[in-house]
């Protein structure tokens, strides 16, 4: 993984801010399209209550299929504690928190706010409109687990990543580096490069010029990054990560465009009316948020 070491040594460090106000987060990072690490989550009950043993005891029967093999959460936790770089625990091993652990959502408050109302939980936004993305997600990984495929998140969402247990490394690439990342023609939010840490530079010569922004997110910290930022991850110890997508007035237009693209594939006759309705809903929400 020579590229992994190069990324760590030659990257741009992501800002780490303590006590950042919602206004500062909005104006200094969200509106400028910049990532930042904040200490917002330190008071969360999850930081004090959640443990690997809790998930093993209460939810160990839950399963995920990774690499063609179905694994229980209890089995994954065993693997996490013996995981090495040479023999890492399967990854990504993730769950929709709303479906699998709905009672734990109350432990993830207060929510990170930055001056715009979150529309993923707005009463006027139909839940099916959010199909295609997971708003609340938990990831379990161990030393050497990684997700090397460069990608940006679905439906134009902004992203918040909080470490509940352990640290996690993120390698982020801004949208202006997209030509160096070789988006797939069939799915432009995924890179053709495959393994970001072990690329084939003969096939993808421009990739040698990418310069990531680097973030080591520590236990109790939250990484915020705007829509369209490519990323890959690496874990160097037992880790529980909470991921949350954010939809608001700032990224609604991009959300509507990506929904339209999906609707054109699934139901071309209804795509344009659905897009118009989605845009109208966005305008109505923006009006009500001014009141």
Q: What's the 3-state SS for the chain?
A: CHHHHHHHHHCEECEEECCCCHHHHHHHHHCCCCCEEECCCCCCCHHHHCCHHHHHHHHCCCEEEECCEEEEHHHHHHHHHHCCCCCCCCCCCEEEHHHHCHHHHHHCCCCCCCCCCCCCCCCCCCHHHHCCCCCEEEEEECCCCEEEEEECCHHHCEEEEEEEECCEEEEEECHHHHHHHCECCCCCCEECCCCCCCCCCCCCHHHHHCCCEEEEECCCCEEEECCCCEEEEECCCCEEEEEEEECCCCCHHHHHHHHHHHHHHHCHHHHHHHHHHHHHHHHHHHHHHHC
Residues 250-269: tens digit of each pLDDT: 999 999 999 999 999 999 99
**Per-residue model confidence (pLDDT) at position 199:** 95
Mean pLDDT, to the nearest integer, of 114-138?
A: 90
Is the pTM above the cut of 0.85? yes
Residue 190 forms beta bridges with which residues?
151
> Alpha-carbon distance 233 to 143, whole Å?
12
- What rounded mean pLDDT belongs to the chain? 94
Mean pLDDT, to the nearest integer, of 128-149?
A: 95
**Per-residue model confidence (pLDDT) at position 3:** 77
Mean pLDDT, to the nearest integer, of 20-44?
A: 93
Q: Do 170 and 241 touch, CB atoms closer than 8 A?
A: no
List C-alpha distances in Å: 124 to 84, 129, 247, 274, 283: 46, 11, 13, 15, 12
Residues 57-99: tens digit of each pLDDT: 999 999 999 989 999 999 999 999 999 999 999 999 999 999 9
**Among candidates 31, 270, 259, 30, which has minimal Cα distance to 155?**
259
> Alpha-carbon distance 215 to 209, whole Å?
19
At residue 1 the predicted structure's pLDDT band, cuts being 50, 70 and 90, is low
**Per-residue model confidence (pLDDT) at position 113:** 78
Mean pLDDT, to the nearest integer, of 41-56?
A: 96
At residue 6 the predicted structure's pLDDT band, cuts being 50, 70 and 90, is confident
Mean pLDDT, to the nearest integer, of 193-213?
A: 95
């Amino acid at each position: 993984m020579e590229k992994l070491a190069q990324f760590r040594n030659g990257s741009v460090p992501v800002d780490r801010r303590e006590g950042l106000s919602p206004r500062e987060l909005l104006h200094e990072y969200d509106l400028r399209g910049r990532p930042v690490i904040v200490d917002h989550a330190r008071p969360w009950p999850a930081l004090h209550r959640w443990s690997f043993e809790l998930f093993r005891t209460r939810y160990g029967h839950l399963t995920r299929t990774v690499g063609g093999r179905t694994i229980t959460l209890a089995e994954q936790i065993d693997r996490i504690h013996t995981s090495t770089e040479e023999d890492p625990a399967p990854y990504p091993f993730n769950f929709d928190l709303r479906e699998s652990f709905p009672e734990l959502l109350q432990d993830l408050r207060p929510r990170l706010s930055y001056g715009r109302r979150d529309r993923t939980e707005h009463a006027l936004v139909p839940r099916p409109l959010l199909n295609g993305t997971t708003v609340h997600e938990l990831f379990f990984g161990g030393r050497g687990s990684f997700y090397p495929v460069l990608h940006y998140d679905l439906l134009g969402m902004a992203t918040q990543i909080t470490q509940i247990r352990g640290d996690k490394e993120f390698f982020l690439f801004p949208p202006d580096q997209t030509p160096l990342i070789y988006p797939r023609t069939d799915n432009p939010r995924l890179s053709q490069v495959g393994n970001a840490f072990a690329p084939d530079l003969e096939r993808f010569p421009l990739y040698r010029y990418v310069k990531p922004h680097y973030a080591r997110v520590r236990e109790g910290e939250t990484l915020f990054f705007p829509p369209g930022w490519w990323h890959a991850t690496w874990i160097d110890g037992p880790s529980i990560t909470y991921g949350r997508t954010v939809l608001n007035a700032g990224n609604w237009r991009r959300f509507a465009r990506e929904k339209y693209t999906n609707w054109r594939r699934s139901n071309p006759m209804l795509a344009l009316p659905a897009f118009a309705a989605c845009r109208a809903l966005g305008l109505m929400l923006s009006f009500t948020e001014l009141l």
